[in-house]
Amino acid sequence: MRRHANRYAVLAAMVLVCGGCAIAPATIATSLMTSAGTHVAMDALFGESKMTRDARAAFGRAPPCTSMTHGVQNGRIVTVVRDIAWFDVYDFGDGRRLVPASGNGLVMVDYQIINRSDDDVTVTPRRLTVTDAEGKLMREKAGVGGIQSDEATPDEGAVLPIDQGWSMVSVFEVPPGEYALMVPNGRTPGDPEPTWVDGCRFPGPAGKTPS
């Protein structure tokens, strides 16, 4: 993949190696089902969605991505962040070029999703998202590797086999600033649905301040 010049380094030479990441049963067991009726009542009370509240809370508790040397576990999978960098223009190896709108930047995340559990798992969502401090969740502008996020590929089709991984790149168009990565969750049909999201936080581009 060819990377465009004028790159704003965020995590210089950052390589997070998962090594022998183990899936902790206690971590899997902490994902408990919650009442949809409760969510609706809270949405009405606070005037915002559960997704926004969860994303804002995840941003608040997210550790720096540089500290997550064994990756970020969510359910039965581990997401290993290998590099994060800001660009003013981004060129993919297939000829695609991303140019952000005025006031925005492009942040590239190079990562791997690994299934080290004892079963095939469904990955939801299929790719990383990012959130700001207010809980505004944003999807990638473009990406490569893994399973692409589109209506033709339902979440039920995003199955990651035992002891395999997807190497992926996601590029987000966002205003310069600090964000948290929201990592996908991996579970089997018998596991309870996750009630929160997990991730890690990364800074804005060097020398740039939010407008």
Residues 141-181 pLDDT 10s: 998 887 655 555 545 558 899 999 999 999 999 999 999 99
The pLDDT mean for the chain works out to 77
- Does residue 207 sit within a domain? no
- Does residue 1 sit within a domain? no
Give the pLDDT band (50/70/90) at residue 201: very high
- Does residue 31 sit within a domain? yes
Q: Which domain holds residue 102?
A: 7-202
- Does residue 208 sit within a domain? no
pTM: 0.74
- Does residue 134 sit within a domain? yes
Residue 130 has pLDDT above 80, yes or no: yes
Residue 28 has pLDDT above 60, yes or no: no
- Does residue 15 sit within a domain? yes
Contacts of 138 (CB under 8 A, 6+ apart): 129, 130, 131, 132, 172, 174
pLDDT, tens digit, 9 for 90 and up, residues 91-124? 998 889 999 999 999 999 999 999 989 999 988 8
Q: Residue type for 138, please?
A: M
**Helix, strand, coil fractions of the chain, as percent rounded to 5:** 15, 35, 50
Domain count, the chain: 1
- Does residue 211 sit within a domain? no
Q: Which two tokens stand for residue 93?
A: 């190896």
Task: Taking residues 1-29, report their average pLDDT.
Answer: 41
